[in-house]
Structure 1
Amino acid sequence: SQQSHYLSFRMRNKKLDCGYLFRVQEHNNLLAVYGILPFLIPESHQSAAMLLITQINYDMLIGNLEMDINDGEIRYKNAIDVEAVGMDESTIEHLLQSVIAMTTVTYEIFSELVNNQNPATELQELLMALYRQEDARTFFLPTQFVQ
């Protein structure tokens, strides 16, 4: 069985007060850092949240968003293989900063979703904004012809 060690704390970054969790698996030399949103997604909004998480995770290069369907907790996770990259103060600082940054963005996105009375409408707007951001990063224009 895998034994994990945990360190959790709360931290305020600007107006955002979130929970953070370090999880170490010594046997596998893995370190995961989680940023946990300070609110839960209500059951009425969980389907929209799951669809949104799926779309966001699809293009994410590092880390991922997760939702606990039992209580609606949303968290961002990033992890490293300590055996491969080592672990020093700089590595931990970069890992934590990436988690703080993504947790902040995640907070903004899901706050909008939770505060909307009609999550289906809000979801369409959020997905359209994500599509526009994706289109802005496209380096070619699709055509009907072979290029």
Structure 2
Amino acid sequence: MIENKGKIFQKIVKFFKEDDWEFIELEEEPILRMEFPGQNGQLNCYAKARESQQQFVFYSICPIKVPENKRLEIAEFLTRANFGMVFGNFELDFANGEIRYKTNAEVENDNLSSALIGSLVYGNVMMMDHYLPGIMSVINGNVLPVDAIAQIE
């Protein structure tokens, strides 16, 4: 199955095997699903190959969904977190409350290295894990987004 999904996907699979990650390959798309045990929470992650666009995309998913009544506050928190961020960004799905952190790279001319994959993957999960206490404090603790960001940054 892996060999039918393209060069980018094959390099992604090779990286995660060599780095001893446990993962599941999704059948319908060139995507790997895995977990990362952060210091502040367990993260679900997805590594996606976009072969025709020559892109590698990595997502880490916040372990809880934002309740509807807290989505505007979390949107403010994530907007404040994203401001000035050069490496990746947070996304919020207003429909279901999912928060994810995304990193990606254009990989033209077959230039996707294990070092680049590692940088995108580990940088990603560290950012989500770093901001997770602030996210949780806004959702659970009635902390204002501006105060939660000040505590993190």
Interval of TM-score (by shorter of Structure 1 and Structure 2):
0.7 to 0.9
Aligned twin of 2:16: none
1:4/1:25 contact within 8 Å kept: no
- Give the Cα–Cα distance (whole angstroms) in 1 for the partners of residues 85 and 78 of structure 2: 10
Aligned twin of 2:94: 69
3-state SS of 2:82 partner:
helix
Equivalent AA in structure 2 for residue 126 of structure 1: A
CA offsets 1:4-56 (integer angstroms, 9 cap, x no match): 62111112134521101111110111011011011011111100011111121
Equivalent AA in structure 1 for residue 37 of structure 2: R
Structure 2, gaps ≥5 residues long: 1-27
Structure 1, gaps ≥5 residues long: 134-147
Which structure has greater strand proportion?
1
Equivalent AA in structure 1 for residue 60 of structure 2: G
Q: Tell me how large the CA RMSD over aligned residues is.
A: 2.3
Deviation at 1:84, TM superposition (A): 6.3
Q: Could you say which structure has the larger radius of gyration?
A: 1
3-state SS of 1:77 partner:
strand
Equivalent AA in structure 1 for residue 38 of structure 2: N
- Give the Cα–Cα distance (whole angstroms) in 1 for the partners of residues 129 and 83 of structure 2: 19
- Give the Cα–Cα distance (whole angstroms) in 2 for the partners of residues 54 and 4 of structure 1: 30
Report matched runs for 1:1-147 at 5 Å.
Answer: 5-14=30-39, 16-83=41-108, 86-116=111-141, 118=142, 121-127=143-149, 129=150, 133=153
1:19/1:37 contact within 8 Å kept: yes
Of 77-86 and 87-96, more deviation after overlay is shown by 77-86
- Give the number of equivalent residue pairs: 126
Q: TM-score, normalised by structure 1?
A: 0.76
Identity %: 22
Deviation at 1:126, TM superposition (A): 2.3
1:63/1:78 contact within 8 Å kept: yes
Q: Which runs of 4+ in 1 moved over 2 A?
A: 13-16, 121-124
- Give the Cα–Cα distance (whole angstroms) in 2 for the partners of residues 81 and 62 of structure 1: 14
2:36/2:42 contact within 8 Å kept: yes
The 3 A distance-change label for structure 1 pair 11 and 83 is: same
2:36/2:44 contact within 8 Å kept: yes
